[in-house]
Amino acid sequence: MLTSRNKNIVRTVSALCLISVSAPALAAGQAASFQVSMDTVWLVTAAALVFFMQAGFALLEGGMVRSKNTVNVIMKNYVDACVGSIVFWLIGYGLMFGANHSGWFGTDHFLLGNAEHMDYSLLLFQTMFAATCVTIASGAMAERTRYESYLLGAIGITAIIYPVYGSWAWGSLYTGSGWLKQMGFIDFAGSTVVHSIGGWVALAGIMVLGPRLGRFDADGRARPIPGHNLTLVALGGFILWLGWFGFNGGSTAAAVPSIGLINLNTHLAAASGAVGAMATMWLGRRPILMTTTVNGSIGGLVAITAGCATMEPMFAVITGLVAGLVLVGGEAFLQWLRLDDVVGAVPVHAFCGAWGTLAAGLFKTGDLFNPTQVTVQFIGVAAGFLWAFPLSLLMYYAIDKTIGLRAGTLDEQRGLDFTEHSEIGYPEFQTAVTHDK
């Protein structure tokens, strides 16, 4: 008679025998299914991390504006995610990733439904990217843009400007390919596709808007208009940094071992971006500003986004360090041009994105400093500028001439929280009330 312990042993041995007999067939099927599940879990988690970046942008930008415009800028970030997601599902995803036979734009997968599970995961992940791209302009154009007009611009970006360029570099997920992709353009997670495009749109926006009241004195010198809460800025910086692990790591679209290198490069570039910005300020005998340091790390993150999967960590550090330099120089350049970019979005996203895209070509593992690759990268950067900048200039100009882009000067005095939303960010703690309570 078998004891209970022996019965268990027999059962276990029988099970093992069964598994060993059917193992090859079962294992292959199960492994494939398991891999798909792992890929999906990673992609959806990464999408959530990228979504969290929206909170990072909101805090960073909210902290960098005066308290009377906090609600307005946070609303823009919040609603960018809402409107951007719907518009991207309606039009953007199809234009960007649908079948791309011409090389210029996708032609199907609009209003995605009745699709494969992985399609939904990819749409979710890419929707977060679209939301990131569209929200870049909000900080640059803060404190003087009419809310409705801004939202109209956001729709234009998510529906046309971002996805069309994206289809050149990344399309298609189905059939056909984008013309830049065919040339061998490297932009792994979107230094140009997401960040430079958003940055060029922001540049067009601030050019049409003009500077805030009193930003430059009669001699053209920039007057500092400090943000109201630098704690929020730092927290926003940390959240963006965290979210970027999903942004870059998730761009593998699969749970693969290379995520380790990708996210290590991401981290190193962010750290060296901050160090590069600090070193540039220090060498220029300027105060070591926290806002610029945080922007330096974001500049590093933007720059490494293109080449995080295709370069060694040492080059990620170099990419980040140079991004810090580009950021500080870019901020000074914009001020010299009397362009008022409230949060430094143009240097961070447009300039550092352009640098990072070139760096991806320069520092490609096994093919360092290949002039052909660098030329392709340059073509990609130039195409991004030539597509996004004039088109958004035209878009914002048309908005300005029809419904008006810029808020009135009285609105600037009162603050856009009051005039655009009838809500005050800090009703109990306002130190300088310039509107009727």
Partner 1 sequence: MQDATVRGTARTEAISKRRRAVFTGLVPYLHGEDLYTALWLWQDKYSDGPAMALHQFINEFACLIEQQVRRSDIHRSLVAAMSKDEVELAPDPYADMLAYRERRLPESKLSAAVAPEDAAPLPATVVLEAVLHALFRQLDEEYPVLTDKLRRYLSHHLAGVDLALGPFSELSQWLSGLRPHLNHAYSEGQMRALVHIAYVGGCEYLGPVQIDTLLARAVEEAEHLPQARHFAPGRLL
Check residue 224 and report its DSSP letter.
Answer: P
Q: Name the β-bridge partners of 216.
A: 222
Q: Which of 224, 287, 366, 371 binds partner 1 (CB under 8 A)?
A: 224
Give me the sign of the Cα torsion angle 83, 395, 187, 244.
negative
Among 51, 64, 66, 187, binds partner 1 (CB under 8 A): 66
Residue 91 contacts residue 98 (beta carbons within 8 Å) = no
Q: Tell me 105's DSSP state.
A: -
Interface stretch with partner 1, choices 37-45, 210-218, 244-252, 253-261 (CB under 8 A): 210-218
Q: Is 417 an interacting residue with respect to partner 1 (CB under 8 A)?
A: no
Neighbours of 397 (CB within 10 A): 14
Q: How far is the CB of 400 from partner 1 (least distance, A)?
A: 13
Nearer to partner 1, 252 or 419 (CB): 419
Nearest to 297 by CA among 63, 74, 56, 77: 56
In the complex, the smallest distance separating the C-beta of residue 405 from partner 1, rounded to whole angstroms, is 14
d(CA 374, CA 377): 5
**Which residue in 76, 181, 212, 364 binds partner 1 (CB under 8 A)?**
212
Rounded to a whole number of angstroms, the minimum distance from the CB of residue 213 to partner 1 is 4
Residue 402 touching partner 1 (CB under 8 A): no
How large is the angle between the packed helices 290-307 and 313-336, nearest 10 degrees? 130
Quick one: which of 213, 314, 337, 394 contacts partner 1 (CB under 8 A)? 213
Would you say 268 and 324 are in contact if contact means Cβ atoms under 8 Å apart? no
Among the listed residues 94, 101, 83, 100, the one whose alpha carbon sits nearest the alpha carbon of residue 119: 94
Residue selected from 187, 352, 414, 425 as contacting partner 1 according to rule CB under 8 A: 414
219 binds partner 1 (CB under 8 A): no
429 lines the binding site for partner 1 (CB under 8 A):
no
Determine what percent of the chain falls in helix, strand and coil, rounding each to the nearest 5.
Answer: 70, 0, 25
d(C-alpha 94, C-alpha 412), whole Å: 39
Q: Which of 148, 169, 165 is nearest to 200 (CA)?
A: 165
Q: Per-residue string for binding with partner 1, 114-143, x by CB under 8 A? A: ------------------------------
Within 13 A of 136's CA, how many CA atoms are on the CB side? 36
Q: Closer to partner 1 by CB, 349 or 414: give it.
A: 414
Residue with tokens 């971006």: 273
338 binds partner 1 (CB under 8 A): no
Give the closest residue to 300 by CA, choosing from 377, 246, 356, 257. 356
Contact call for residue 413 and partner 1 (CB under 8 A): yes
The verdict on 432 binding partner 1 (CB under 8 A) reads yes
Residue from the set 77, 135, 263, 419 that interacts with partner 1 by CB under 8 A: 419
Residue 431 found at the interface with partner 1 (CB under 8 A): yes
Task: By CB under 8 A, tell whether 390 contacts partner 1.
Answer: no
Q: Determine, following the binding rule CB under 8 A, whether residue 434 of this chain makes contact with partner 1.
A: yes
Distance of CA 54 to CAs 80, 135, 243, Å?
9, 8, 9
Element (H, E) at 359: helix 352-362
Site stretch for partner 1 (CB under 8 A), options 247-255, 259-267, 303-311, 427-435: 427-435
Which listed residue (11, 223, 338, 401) binds partner 1 by CB under 8 A? Answer: 223
The CB-side HSE value for 60 (13 A sphere, CA atoms) comes to 31
| Cβ-contact 345, 137 below 8 angstroms | yes
436 scored as a contact of partner 1 (CB under 8 A): yes
Give dist(CA 73, CA 157) in Å, integer: 18
* Pick 116 or 436: Cβ nearer partner 1: 436
When binding is defined by CB under 8 A, the residue of 220, 226, 284, 390 that contacts partner 1 is 226
User: Is residue 80 a contact point for partner 1 (CB under 8 A)?
Assistant: no
Stated length of the chain: 437
155 binds partner 1 (CB under 8 A): no
Q: How far is the CB of 186 from partner 1 (least distance, A)?
A: 43
Name the residue nearer to partner 1 (CB basis): 225 or 253. Answer: 225
**What would the two tokens of residue 336 be?**
């010299």
Please choose, out of 99-107, 152-160, 219-227, 242-250, the segment that lies near partner 1 by the rule CB under 8 A: 219-227
Q: What are 222's strand-pairing partners?
A: 216
By C-beta, is 224 or 257 nearer to partner 1? 224
Choose between 114 and 431: whose C-beta lies nearer to partner 1: 431
Please choose, out of 55-63, 84-92, 173-181, 426-434, the segment that lies near partner 1 by the rule CB under 8 A: 426-434
Structure tokens at 147: 């809310």
Binding-site ranges for partner 1 (CB under 8 A): 66, 68, 212-215, 217-218, 223-226, 408-414, 418-420, 422, 431-437
